[in-house]
Amino acid sequence: MANADRGNRPLSPHLTIYKPQLTSITSILIRITGNALIVSVFLIVCWLFSAATSPQYFTVIDSFMNSWLGTLVLTASLWAVWYHLLGGLRHLIWDRAIGLDLKTAEYLGWLVVFGSFLLTIITIFILW
């Protein structure tokens, strides 16, 4: 990796020997949750399309969403979207050059982790 022809580009962290830190893990999780959310967007669009076109097709999609697998996917997505939102908010704060010192950055990281679970539980509690 290091002797590759990379011109004047900076060397990115060698992930295999890079010590996992709260700040790096919480950051990569934003990317993972954001991209994984396309699964539930796909589900929701199918659900909308079926609601618009045929009650029979709607029953099929709806019963999948209410099955244990559908519930698992939607609940995981709920956590993912709250996590992504809070993590994104952290980046918007950092963009204003606030909270960049290590102590605040780690504190914000824990806030994102606990906040996402808390918001998920609150949402389920309200919507149940």
Partner 1 sequence: MKLTSIALFFLIPAFIFTFGSIIGEDHEAVVEYLSKPLPALIVALTLIIGLQHFQSGAQTLIEDYVRGRTYGMALLLVKVVSRLLMVIGLYSIAIIAL
List contacts with partner 1 (CB under 8 A): 31, 34-35, 37-38, 41-42, 44-45, 47-49, 51-53, 55, 58-59, 62, 65-66, 74, 78, 81, 85, 88-89, 92, 95, 123, 126-127
- Smallest separation (angstroms) from partner 1 to the CB of 25: 17
- Tell me 98's DSSP state: -
- Other beta carbons less than 10 A from residue 121's beta carbon: 13
Report the residue number, 78 or 109, with the smaller CB distance to partner 1.
78
For residue 122, which of 60, 89, 78, 87 has the smallest C-alpha distance? 78
CA gyration radius, the chain: 20
Indicate the residue among 102 and 128 with the shorter CB distance to partner 1.
Answer: 128
Burial class (CB in 10 A: 0-12, 13-18, 19+), 123: middle
Please state, in angstroms and rounded to a whole number, the distance separating the CA atoms of residues 123 and 33: 18
Query: How near is the Cβ of 91 to partner 1 at its closest, in Å?
Result: 8
Instruction: Judge whether 53 and 46 are in contact, CB under 8 Å.
Output: no
Shortest Cβ 15–partner 1 spacing (Å): 12
Nearer of residues 95 and 102 to partner 1, judged by Cβ: 95
CB of residue 43 to partner 1, shortest distance in Å: 10
C-beta of 16 vs 103, nearer to partner 1: 16
